Amino acid sequence: MTEYEKRFLRIYRRTADPAEALLASGMDVPDGESPEKAGRAVLRKLKKRLRELESREAVLELATPERVRAEIAHMAFDDIGRYLYFFEGDKGFEVHARCSDEIDTRNISEVSVGTGGKVTLKLYSRERALLKLWDILRQDDGEQDDSLLDALRGLRESGTEATGESSVDGQEGGGFDEGFGPAE
């Protein structure tokens, strides 16, 4: 998409007038054609992109407390099996990445490919998501029972934080880490 087309869409979304968007964006009107007709032609050409922008904005409008809570819960109750699959193969125990169209990427904070094609996934921290969800739920319910919160904090203090390493190619070494911001 050209800069002129981007400008056209921004102006059209504000004015809903294809002719005004065409002229204000700096696009040329073809000889013998009216700005209205030329603006409608550009709009037809960019209709798919306009729908994509409107769809993305509609999703952003859905950012409600309930949706945020659901996303944090999704992180808190995620499972590595959604990203990797484990099986007994010809070489013994093997780990492979799931096909990209099977993966829900919301919880992946970072992906990198190292030497030899080794893929490393970093997920947001399950522990931090659980703690945040617990705080939210306590605020909602006014509950004072801190037993789960204390247990989770005890995990952190004892050094058994919910992190682990696994490589996608079955080799030993780093590869999987969970972190609610990128893993440290």
Task: Please report which confidence band the pLDDT of residue 156 belongs to, taking 50, 70 and 90 as the band edges.
Answer: low
What does DSSP say about strands 84-89 and 92-97: parallel, antiparallel, or unpaired? antiparallel
- What pTM value is reported for the model? 0.42
Share of the chain above pLDDT 70, in %: 73
Q: Specify the residue for token string 């919880």.
A: 107
Residues 36 and 113 in one domain: no
- Angstrom distance (rounded) from CA 27 to CA 12: 13
Which residues form the domain of 104?
A: 65-178
Residues 80 and 103 in one domain: yes
- For 60-118, write each residue's pLDDT tens digit: 666 677 778 888 888 888 888 888 888 898 888 888 888 777 777 888 889 888 888 88
Q: Of 123, 134, 142, 119, which is closest to residue 183 (Cα–Cα)? A: 123
CB 27 within 8 A of CB 35: no
- Angstrom distance (rounded) from CA 161 to CA 129: 12
- Angstrom distance (rounded) from CA 181 to CA 184: 8
User: How does the average pLDDT of the chain come out, rounded?
Assistant: 77
Tell me which of 104 and 20 has the higher pLDDT.
20
- Angstrom distance (rounded) from CA 73 to CA 61: 20
Q: What is the pLDDT of residue 65?
A: 79
Residues 139 and 106 in one domain: yes
Work out how many domains the chain is built from and give that number. Answer: 2
Asked which of 14, 38, 61 is the last residue of a domain, the reply is 61
- Angstrom distance (rounded) from CA 46 to CA 96: 40
Task: Write down the H helix ranges in the chain.
Answer: 3-15, 18-25, 35-45, 47-61, 65-76, 126-141, 147-157
Tell me which of 98 and 24 has the higher pLDDT.
24
Residues 84 and 148 in one domain: yes
